[in-house]
Amino acid sequence: MAIRNLRYEGDEILKKVSREVEQIDEKIQILIDDMIETMHKYNGVGLAAVQVGVLKRVVVIDLYDDKGPIVLINPKILKTKGEQEVEEGCLSFPNQFAKIVRPLEVEVEYTDRNGKRKKTKAKELLAQAICHEVDHLNGEVFVDKIIPGTMEYIEPEK
């Protein structure tokens, strides 16, 4: 496993649409492992492949609970329900946090790393994370949809 270089604000790749994964081969497995390691290194709750410069529809999420890292390949949000106003940040936008309105619940279909197509429901923080990461796959970043005037710049504590 290896830490991959993150792509940051201003990098044009963040605006590109990622391609579907057609075959979950060794290369994809290595990408997934590297993405999990990279997310953990930077204490992120989610990471999309585009953020490490790979335009493939692969997402990893870890809420640091008993569910462990979640891997979503070719995720598709089927339904959303309700709204929540939440604080959000992104590893590609270090130290920037803003308020944003996200669905309270989502139903998502995805392929797991073993190639099995699954359907699941998520709410609150997990729903927020899934929406944020699926946005990345579509070339969208959270700063473009925040509630105006809520951006804060917070330096990490040393």
Report, as residue numbers or ranges, the catalytic residues. Answer: 133
Convert residues 108-147 into a mask of x (bound to Ni ion by CB under 5 A) and - (unbound). ----------------------------------------
Tell me how far, at minimum, the Cβ of 51 lies from Ni ion, in Å.
6
Q: Looking at residues 46 to 105 of the shown chain, list those that interact with Ni ion (rule: CB under 5 A).
A: 90
For Ni ion, which is the closer residue by CB, 72 or 90?
A: 90
Contacts of 104 (CB under 8 A, 6+ apart): 81, 82, 83, 84, 123, 124, 127
* Cα separation of the two ends of the chain: 27
Tell me how far, at minimum, the Cβ of 116 lies from Ni ion, in Å.
26
For Ni ion, which is the closer residue by CB, 90 or 126?
A: 90
Q: How many Å apart are CA 156 and CA 96, to the nearest integer?
A: 10
Scored b (16 or more CB within 10 A) or e, 44-73 reads bbbbbbbbbebebbbbbbbeeeeeebbbbb
Tell me how far, at minimum, the Cβ of 114 lies from Ni ion, in Å.
25
For Ni ion, which is the closer residue by CB, 53 or 115?
A: 53
